[in-house]
Amino acid sequence: MWSGADPVCRLVTLEIAKLIPPRLLLALSKPYSKISRDARENQDERKSLAMFVIQKLLNSDQLVEIRTELKDAQWQEGALTTSEDFKNVKSNKQVLTGNAVDKIKEVLLGSPLFLNAILFKGFCKLMIVKYEEDMHYGTHSDSWIQNGRRADFSFTVFLNDKDDYKGGELIIEDKGKESTIKLDAGSIVMYPSTVLHRVNKVTKGTRLVSIGWVTSYVKNEEYRNILYDLAQVRAEVYQKTGSSKQHMKLTQIYNNLMRLWSE
């Protein structure tokens, strides 16, 4: 199964094969030169979108602090920062700078879950957005570049309780299917910037969120999926065996794949 001759590699394969997702096992059992072709050929066979949710990333004190800061904020029309072809489908208000924006950045940068899930390299842009009654954002795709940086992941941090408003669901489209996202205050959803998405009309109350875009160290989405699977397996092996030969070999593989695929 393993393409190399290293007996430790073969040992790892035999002992942890049941833990490794098929996509990852397929990639690791082939020479590196073939992975790119295989990823393209099998892209349509992916079972689901690489979407990550972290519940309650911000605590109640942080949320109160951010909402207090926003009471005196100078809101601008959201259509001012979108391309001409999407102005007619965007209806919201936004804040681009200030203490509240800085606080959210600080929390995100302090979260290993956030940083590791998307192989965080840097922020492109971050803002706070509110949707009042009758506001919405129709189906659109995010620009590939934000503030001069490639946008690989988009994210939404929910800043008020989902019971504070009706409607306002984030709808993410992928391969003809839709995911409906409406999370508790303090939670975050991250998803590839490549997908179509929309925000349904708010019919009552106010939806308050922070949105942003991130550059990942790894541009290729399939490679990111493989690295995430490998990181999960490595963590499981560590929990069961500690700093064993198996864990060390997986760590070596992970680091070498990062050297190959990171930018």
1 lies in a domain? no
β 136-140/90-91 pair status:
antiparallel
Same domain as 153, residue 191? yes
Selection from 197, 199, 184 nearest residue 130 by Cα: 199
Ranges of the chain with pLDDT below 50: 1-18, 20, 25-47
Specify whether 63 is located in the same domain as 161: yes
Tell me how many degrees the CA angle 255-256-262 measures, rounded to the nearest 5: 80
What is the pLDDT, as a whole number, of residue 24? 53
Using one digit for the tens of pLDDT, what is the confidence trace for 21-67? 555 544 444 443 333 333 333 333 334 567 889 999 999 999 999 99
Bridge partner list, 101: none
112 and 158 within one domain:
yes
| pLDDT for the residue numbered 49 | 66
Q: Check residue 32 and give its pLDDT.
A: 37
Model confidence, pTM: 0.80
The total domain count for the chain is 2
Residue 7 lies in a domain: no
Q: What is the pLDDT of residue 212?
A: 97
Over the stretch 7-33, which tens digit does the pLDDT of each residue have?
333 333 444 444 545 555 444 444 433
CA distance 68 to 55: 22
Residues 196 and 145 in one domain: yes
pLDDT for res 105: 97
pLDDT computed for residue 79 by the predictor: 84
Contacts of 77 by beta carbon, 8 Å cutoff, 6+ apart:
93, 94
pLDDT confidence of residue 48: 56
Q: What is the pLDDT of residue 151?
A: 97
- Same domain as 57, residue 73: yes
Bridge partner list, 149: 146
Query: Do 196 and 91 share a structural domain?
Result: yes
